[in-house]
Amino acid sequence: MRISAIQMNPGSDKRQNIAQARELIQGALAEGRPRLIALPEMWSCLGGDRETKFREAEELPAEGSNGTGGAAYEFLREVARANSIHVHGGSIGELAGDRLYNTTLVFGPDGREIARYRKIHLFDIVTPDGQGYRESAVFKAGEQVVTFKAQDLTFGLAICYDIRFPELFLQLRRAGAEVIFLPAAFTLQTGRDHWEVLLRARAIETQCWMVAPACYGRHFDGNNDPRVTYGHSLICDPWGLVIARASDGIGWATGRVDQALTQRMRRDMPVLEHRKLV
């Protein structure tokens, strides 16, 4: 399966972000003819104050209902349906009472939602340059490990900060995952040292392909202070080799997931069967 990981430079205006996503998706489809498109974390609204985050977040239809959603939800659905492809919607803000969920949505070629994942690990840290992040002040943590099937492949879902918790990725592998998505808005400070290292490590440990669409460049928080994301969207194989990478700026990385390669690696080095610790 050919997959394109879209790299965006979103801000806090959802309409502008949808327009940017549409243009990039059209470019990736024309150039690489992927059967699955994946967007980065919080591409529909990155930055802004609490009021802005809530205004741009969306109440989602009940799972399995095929009901109508908000602007970002319907945009993702229409991209899938119009192009007869699978769409991994990165993540968007999901309304949940007095806080939000950081939520991934996946749509099948008929436009039906087939998977939903809420980010489990929330980014409450101080980066080396002293900038503080407290995702839990706005977002709730998810609780469910989620996989889905597409074209005989099993995909696992994770988001950004989840990458630092290998036990989640082991659970995804045990649930049958062959490819794991990690949409992200990794900070420049952490990304330049840890982004590729962590992605390749999770790929090697789980013997899964990693698909990591990322936000790139500057946006502004609620105090109008600049925040910078690292970008460097990539796809790596189960051996940990990067097979596709986005340059600086907006764009995409397209690569082909080879199920036979995954099966061969797992047969020749059966690390899951050799694992002694729970």
Paired tokens of 43:
């591409």
pLDDT at 9 over 90: yes
pLDDT computed for residue 128 by the predictor = 84
What mean pLDDT comes out for the span 42-61? 97
Closest CA to 43 of 116, 92, 98, 102: 92
What average pLDDT does this structure show over 98-123? 97
Q: Is the pLDDT assigned to residue 253 strictly greater than 90?
A: yes
Known active-site residue 119: yes
Q: Which DSSP helix (H) or strand (E) runs through 206?
A: helix 188-206
More confident residue, 3 or 125: 3
Q: Quote the domain boundaries for residue 70.
A: 2-274
Through-space distance between the first and last CA atoms of the chain, rounded to whole angstroms = 32
DSSP string for residues in 71-136:
HHHHHHHHHHHHHT-EEE---EEEEETTEEEEEEEEE-TTS-EEEEEE--S--EEE-TTS-EEEGG
User: Alpha carbon 13 to chain centroid distance?
Assistant: 19
The owner of tokens 């239809």 is 61
**Residue partners of 72: CB distance under 8 A and separation at least 6:** 14, 18, 44, 58, 89, 92
184 secondary structure, DSSP code: B
Tell me the mean pLDDT in the region 80-107: 97
Choosing from 56, 94, 113, 160, which is the catalytic residue? 160
Among candidate residues 14, 41, 53, 113, the one labeled active-site is 41
Q: How far is CA 58 from CA 55, 61, 71, 72, 90, in A?
A: 8, 9, 8, 8, 14
Give catalytic status of residue 208 as yes or no: no
Write phi, then psi, for 123 (nearest 5 degrees): -85, 90
Dig out the tokens for 188 from the structure: 């420049």
Question: Across residues 5-23, what is the average pLDDT?
Answer: 98
Share of the chain above pLDDT 90, in %: 93
pTM score, whole prediction: 0.96
What pLDDT, on a 0 to 100 scale, did the predictor assign at position 109? 98
Tell me the C-alpha distance between 185 and 102, whole Å.
12
Any catalytic annotation for residue 215? Answer: no
Catalytic pick among 14, 53, 119, 140: 119
Number of domains in the chain: 1
pLDDT band at 277 (very low <50, low <70, confident <90, very high): confident
pLDDT at 132 over 90: no
Instruction: Give the distance, in angstroms, between the CA of residue 201 and the centroid of all CA atoms in the same chain.
Output: 17
Predicted pLDDT of residue 108: 98
At residue 127, the pLDDT reads 84
CATH number at residue 197: 3.60.110.10
196, 201, 202, 206 alpha-carbon torsion, rounded to 10°: 150
Residue 223, pLDDT score? 81
Q: What's the chain's average pLDDT? A: 96
Picking from 130-134, 145-149, 197-201, 257-261, which range would have the lowest pLDDT averaged per residue? 130-134
Stretch 248-264: mean pLDDT: 98
Q: What is the pLDDT of residues 177-226, one digit of tens each?
A: 999 999 999 999 999 999 999 999 999 999 999 999 999 999 998 888 89
3-class DSSP assignment, residue 278: coil
Task: Name the helix (H) or strand (E) containing 204.
Answer: helix 188-206
Q: What is the pLDDT of residue 278?
A: 66
Angle at 117 between CA 111 and CA 122, to 5 degrees: 145
